[in-house]
Amino acid sequence: MLILLDEVVRTDYGQFTLRQGADGFDGDADRLFAGQTNGWVGAAVPGVVHAVLARRSGGSAVSIELHQDEPDLDEAEDVVEVSLEVSEGALSWETWAGESSGTLDVPSGTYRVRVSASGRDAGQAREFADGIVDWYTVQLWHAPPADDRIVRVGSQDAAYWHAERGGRRGA
């Protein structure tokens, strides 16, 4: 495993995006979640994975890991998987309004992306708390493209987003 990012990221509106090229979040969340079953990790636009973090603003702990093979599931409360195609050129990450951003050294190919979260309910309820209250791990590994998948739902916040935006398969 290679750790590509491990830091506290500053967000606004809880938006965290991995993107290939210039396309990213343009304010139209529906297009990012079109046809998906989950509601907090949008990957319907090629080259983009857009996660809605529970903490609307402030800092959330985010780590991004590159794996050779599918990693074991961790004990996180909430887990979603999506697919991402990475072509030549850098994969970047950013939060809305540019509070935090950077580039990731990810070879080209098709990846499965697992986003695991703990503390989503605390993140939603304690937006202005001191310290970190929500944690996210993004794991990437080579795999054929597949539909998004809800692996685990343990927080009320994730359940809310799945009900609010999810279930749009074929939308």
What mean pLDDT value characterizes the chain? 88
pLDDT tier at 170, thresholds 50, 70, 90: very low
The C-alpha atoms of residue 85 and residue 82 are separated, in whole angstroms, by 10
Q: Is the pLDDT of residue 7 over 60?
A: yes
| Domain map (residue ranges) of the chain | 2-162
pLDDT in tens, 16-27: 899 887 555 566
**Are the beta carbons of 134 and 117 closer than 8 angstroms?**
yes
* The CATH homologous superfamily of the domain defined by 2-162: Competence, DNA-entry nuclease inhibitor, ComJ (2.60.34.30)
pLDDT score recorded for residue 130: 77
Q: In what order do the strands lie in the sheet with 91-95?
A: 41-42, 48-52, 15-20, 91-95, 101-104
**Are the beta carbons of 117 and 158 closer than 8 angstroms?**
yes
Number of Cβ within a 10 Å radius of residue 105: 9
pLDDT tier at 129, thresholds 50, 70, 90: confident
pLDDT tier at 40, thresholds 50, 70, 90: very high
Share of residues in the chain with pLDDT > 70 (%): 92
Q: Is the pLDDT of residue 31 over 90?
A: no
pLDDT score recorded for residue 142: 97
pLDDT tier at 64, thresholds 50, 70, 90: very high
Is residue 116 within a helix (H) or strand (E), and if so which, with residue range? Answer: strand 109-118
